[in-house]
A = this chain, B = another copy of it.
Amino acid sequence: MGSAMGVLLDIAGVLYEGDRPIPGAVDAVRRLRGSGLAVRYLTNSTRRPKRRIVERLRSLGFPVDPAEILTPAEAACDWLRREGYAPHLLIHPDLEEDFMDLPKSDRIAVVVGDAGPCFSYERMNAAFRELERGAPFLALAINRVFKDRDGKLSLDAGAFVKALEYSSGTPALLLGKPSRDFFVAGARSMGCALGDVTMIGDDAESDVSGAIAAGVRAAIHVQTGKYRAGDETQHDHRPSALARDIAAAVDLLVETD
């Protein structure tokens, strides 16, 4: 597919599944980086802090610099600083460290991520009541499902965002994929325009259809992670290419020896 200048990689389901790298993924990322293409990691994972995303990728054999990873939590912190709000957090406790360094403020914005088992009625209702009082509503992600450790799909953050939007009548501002701003930030950090970037991911909606709608050069849908046959036909935009896995996707972008 030649001439992309930068590549944005989704992480979970593309580079690893559960506790293991996807076969061929470490070598594929090495080939990508060795080819002269810029590479950034654009994740919607909001269950662990950036520090642990970096640790995990390194422990699985992916060489990665923290500055190469863009997370919805960072995008939210940028928004909160810029607009002068303190967060009311409805997120996984493990992610809270990414929100530790914000300046104090009396103005509250609700921030919802994938709290997983930490979603409870009490926590949902407390966030709802802040929205009722007029707090802005930031959604780290609106993914419908993720592939859980038992191999089955489970409810992702989007379910809980939609619940709160419905009852409060407050639309959420999305920070993660498929927010165009998030793709733009990924491109910009490589010194590219969106039109020079290829996105590789396993989520038909957030990674593929959303990226194409945002204006990337191409979006490659890998058939790993949460991929289910036919997913690519369910949303507004179909992938530029469907690839067996990231190794096959990289073959499309980089000349093999």
Contact A164 B153 (CB under 8 A): no
Which A153-167 residues have C-beta < 8 A from chain B?
A: 153-156, 158-160, 162-167
Known: A162-B166, A164-B159, A166-B162. A120 touches B119 (CB 8 A): yes
* Cβ-defined contact, B144 with A125, below 8 A: no
A79-122 CB mask vs B (1 if < 8 Å, else 0) is 00000000000000000000000000000000000011111111
Q: How far is the CB of A149 from chain B (nearest CB, A)?
A: 12
Q: Given A117-B122, A121-B118, A129-B152, are A167 and B158 neighbors across the interface (CB < 8 Å)?
A: yes
Tell me whether chain A's interface is mostly helix, strand or loop, or mixed.
helix
Q: Is there a chain B Cβ closer than 8 Å to A27's Cβ? A: no
- Are the C-beta atoms of B155 and A121 separated by less than 8 Å? yes
Does A255 belong to the interface (CB within 8 Å)? no
A236 is an interface residue with CB less than 8 A from chain B: no
With A145-B167, A152-B129, A166-B144: A159-B117 Cβ-Cβ less than 8 Å: no
Write 24 A-B pairs (CB below 8 A) sorted by A numbering.
A115-B121, A117-B121, A117-B122, A119-B124, A120-B120, A120-B121, A124-B155, A124-B159, A125-B154, A125-B155, A128-B154, A128-B159, A129-B154, A132-B152, A132-B153, A144-B166, A144-B167, A144-B169, A155-B167, A156-B167, A159-B164, A159-B166, A159-B167, A160-B163
